[in-house]
Structure 1
Amino acid sequence: PSMSNRLLAEAVGTFGFFFIGFSGIAASVNLPGSIASAGVAAGFGLGLGLMIAAFGQISGGHYNPAVTFGLAVGRKFPMSAVIPYWVAQLIGGFIAVLVATLLYTNDIKDSLVTNPGKGIEDWRAMMIELVAVFLFVSVIITVATDDSAPWKGVLAPVAIGGFIFIAAVTMGPSSGGSFNPARSIDPAIWAADFGNVWIYIVGPLIGAALAGALSMALRGDKA
């Protein structure tokens, strides 16, 4: 596919992934008791898996600046395309924020902003995000790019979406459960609340870079 089509697929896929997840948050805010935290986690995990199934064959289905960066570090994606992908992801995510606040009322605006769990220090939240994204990108590199893996391709949406669901359930209550810089940057822009957004940029990008570097080392590639 052309670069323009790939970027459009990234924007639309990121929109769909975020909007489904944001819808779960909106239900928890506007309709208390209608959905549990695991339901919100399922929205993000299954939403990601479904959008990968829908558009992954066009753009690769990154929908996450950290994933794009990690794949580029691991030489599974051209570094020259990283910035265009980031822009497309941020645009798609921001549209999801706007549509969610329009459809579910502006009351959810602050609830979409990512913050560490109560009593969790910022550095701990950042490290949890780092470890989670390191593992996440390691899974993606295998199930989406490694020809030697028998489960490559077909199981990618299930494995990738399943990881986000599990991570959101187990690690999300502590770190805030972003695992995606765009997922945190876009709501922060709309709410004008940038206090903790650095956590969800620094942690995921470092974790993704480490995953890419590990992939190269395991393959025996030279930097």
Structure 2
Amino acid sequence: MSLQLGDQVPDFQQSSTQGDISFYDWAGDSWVILFSHPADYTPVCTTELGAVAKLKSEFDKRNVKTIALSVDDVESHMGWTKDIEETQGATLNYPILADGDRKVSDLYGMIHPNANNTLTVRSVFIIDPQKKLRLTITYPASTGRNFDEILRVIDSLQLTDGYQVATPVNWQDGDDCVIVPSLKDPEVLKEKFPKGYKEVKPYLRMTPQPNK
């Protein structure tokens, strides 16, 4: 059965470009982005791995660790890493799991037989510090992932966890937020949202972003 939002993700032990990794221990109390690749030396993925390396400071600000996965072995990964660094102008600063036995791919449902019955699809998993799955996105092989969007989602999730707000369509950091419907007591609203809020409809209440 595939992983669903809110599920606790499975732990695993697997080799990587940074040595053997025990996932839960490696993740610690950080958020994690786990993203998979069909194979080494693939062109779209080469651009993605470089882009993620360049975003390290943004991930660090959000307490996020990144980890990639491909079904090839560590030796192959190390050769690919040289190509990534040469062509993308970024030092690879996170591990690539070597999932030749498909152990992690099967645990996380990364094999989609109707797309390819042996290679991983290009999935993204956002996992919170409690090891709960908070987002999945699966892309076709031809479409590069949008990591600005993934950062946006992490900002939204962390806001919701900390301040009981949701984020509206096309929200960007600094925009107004939606007060979650479960908050109804006027005194609680006044305490939680000292900047005030606008009631567009009883179920649609907008407030300035609380952490700005």
**TM-score normalised over the length of structure 2:** 0.31
User: Could you say which structure has the higher strand fraction?
Assistant: 2
